[in-house]
Amino acid sequence: MAKPVAVIGAGVVGTACARALQRAGRPVLLVDPAPPGSVCSAGNAGHIAIEQVQPLARPEMIASVPRMLANPLGPLTLRWRGLPAMLPWFLRMAAASRPARVEAGTAALADLLRTAVADWRRLLDTPSLAPLLRHEGSFAVTESEAGRKAAAEEARIMAAHGVRLESLSPQEVAARLPSLSASVTGGQFFPETAHAVEPQRLVRELAARFAAEGGEILAQPVTGLRREGGRIAAIEIPGGERAVDSIILSAGLASARLAPLLGIRLPLTAERGYHAMLPQGAVPLPCPVSFAERGFIATPMEHGTRLAGTVELGAAKRAPDWSRADILVRHARDLFGPVPEPSSRWQGDRPTLPDYLPAIGPVPGLANALVATGHQHLGLTLAAVTARVLTALRTTGAPGADLRPFDPARFGRT
């Protein structure tokens, strides 16, 4: 019997990789102690954000940090007790914010994002899976003159990297988003974006299809990796090991623990985000609508409207601050008028590298180890792209994309 490719991590990225490899004819073992899509992938905004071509590690974002921290309703908060442990990460982020690196990172991200929706269409091209993604575009709306100018500059950069968009006047925004009661200064419509009807359901059903067609899902943690020469020969699990043909490390934050076993460092931080679900019909929207100045997005889903966003740093291993989810509801009331109390709230930790680029590609010195982690705010967006390029790399040796900017070893070797 052929040895499987072991995909370590059953979030949206790992599950997409497992399914893509399976469709390419490879036996695959998907390994995670948690059910597929039940951790960070469960609570994301659901937006396939092909317009977000710029890494968040850039000068204007760093310059805005004091203003955001001073605003109790702002999109960023910092747990000060977590600051000392995060200082090395912040220093790496500052280094990644140099203009030349931002320019290179933007070009690299734009190259991956260009096919994100098409790759999802291919991965979900069965009658039961295809409806899990809706192709209705998305809006970004501004509320101040400064916000409008900043959005216009971002739109210029997006357009330069192939993103299709329509600039909208305040009157056009009001006509196309009649449920919006707040005054606005303008917006953009992105006709080629998409969104999930429910992100956790998408991952769960993708994993179910994988299992139905012969894929194996192993609900155990990977505790070690056994090497033979320049290869990974087996994954170690409680009570034994499983021989493997190759591995893909896609374990979210747990990737930082396993990366030294591959001889690399992955300085992932837990970038906590929150969401609040409003009941069905509370805010009728045609598609996702983001509000950059408030740092959140409202996405229509099958069970209601998801309000998602905020960035909380230094919160790893600390209890949730549910006021961050409540702030999202306050924003919704400012923008749409009276809305009911949320039907549910959620929090989760995005696996984020300091340059805000994912780690995707081969591990130097190991012939059969690949990495796919650190996708920060773009996990759902880039999952199918990542699956396509790594499947091509494993099956043909040619990924079909320049993966050098995403080198998993770029933060150093152990």
- The answer on pLDDT for 137 being more than 90 is yes
Q: Does one domain contain both 143 and 162?
A: yes
Question: In the prediction, which pLDDT does 69 show?
Answer: 86
- The answer on pLDDT for 301 being more than 90 is yes
- The answer on pLDDT for 179 being more than 80 is yes
CATH of residue 183's domain is: 3.30.9.10
Q: Does one domain contain both 138 and 171?
A: yes
CATH of residue 21's domain is: 3.50.50.60
Of the two residues 190 and 78, the one the predictor is more confident about is: 190
Q: Does one domain contain both 289 and 322?
A: yes
CB 288 within 8 A of CB 187: no
Read off φ and ψ for residue 314, nearest 5 degrees: 80, 15
Q: Does one domain contain both 187 and 91?
A: yes
Q: Looking at the domain assignment, is residue 107 inside a domain?
A: no
Q: What is the pLDDT of residues 392-414, one digit of tens each?
A: 999 999 999 999 999 999 999 98
Question: In the prediction, which pLDDT does 80 show?
Answer: 86
Q: Does one domain contain both 152 and 260?
A: no
Q: Does one domain contain both 362 and 394?
A: yes
Q: Looking at the domain assignment, is residue 118 inside a domain?
A: no
Q: Which 3 state secondary structure label does DSSP give 243?
A: strand
Q: In total, how many domains does the chain have?
A: 2
Nearest CA among 50, 20, 22 for reference residue 389: 20
- The residues, ordered by sequence, that sit 6+ positions from 82 with a Cβ below 8 Å of its Cβ are 313, 314, 315, 316, 318
Q: Does one domain contain both 145 and 221?
A: no
- The answer on pLDDT for 328 being more than 90 is yes
Average pLDDT over residues 342-348: 96
Q: Looking at the domain assignment, is residue 253 inside a domain?
A: yes
Residue tagged 């924003």 (tokens): 331
Handedness of CA 284, 287, 292, 297 (dihedral sign): positive
Q: Is the pTM for the entire model greater than 0.95? A: yes
Question: In the prediction, which pLDDT does 1 show?
Answer: 74
Q: Does one domain contain both 66 and 135?
A: yes
The DSSP output letter for 302 is T
Average pLDDT over residues 161-175: 97
Q: Does one domain contain both 258 and 277?
A: no
Question: In the prediction, which pLDDT does 82 show?
Answer: 86
Question: In the prediction, which pLDDT does 346 show?
Answer: 96
End-to-end CA distance of the chain: 34
- Measured between alpha carbons, how far is 379 from 377 in angstroms, rounded to an integer? 6
- The answer on pLDDT for 107 being more than 90 is yes
- The answer on pLDDT for 285 being more than 80 is yes
Q: Looking at the domain assignment, is residue 119 inside a domain?
A: no
Q: Does one domain contain both 284 and 262?
A: no
CB 196 within 8 A of CB 43: no
pLDDT band, very low/low/confident/very high, at 217 (cuts 50, 70, 90): very high
Question: In the prediction, which pLDDT does 20 show?
Answer: 98
- Measured between alpha carbons, how far is 164 from 176 in angstroms, rounded to an integer? 18
Average pLDDT over residues 236-247: 96
The percent of residues in the chain predicted with pLDDT above 70, rounded, is 100
Range of the domain at 55: 45-97+131-196+268-351
H/E element, 156:
helix 145-160
- Measured between alpha carbons, how far is 296 from 30 in angstroms, rounded to an integer? 32
Average pLDDT over residues 336-350: 95
The one-letter amino acid at 101: R
Q: What is the pLDDT of residues 364-393, one digit of tens each?
A: 999 999 999 999 999 999 999 999 999 999
Q: Does one domain contain both 334 and 387?
A: no
- The answer on pLDDT for 317 being more than 90 is no
Out of 332, 351, 370, pick the residue that ends a domain: 351
CA 337 to chain centre: 30
- Measured between alpha carbons, how far is 106 from 231 in angstroms, rounded to an integer? 33
- Measured between alpha carbons, how far is 339 from 182 in angstroms, rounded to an integer? 14
Question: In the prediction, which pLDDT does 283 show?
Answer: 94
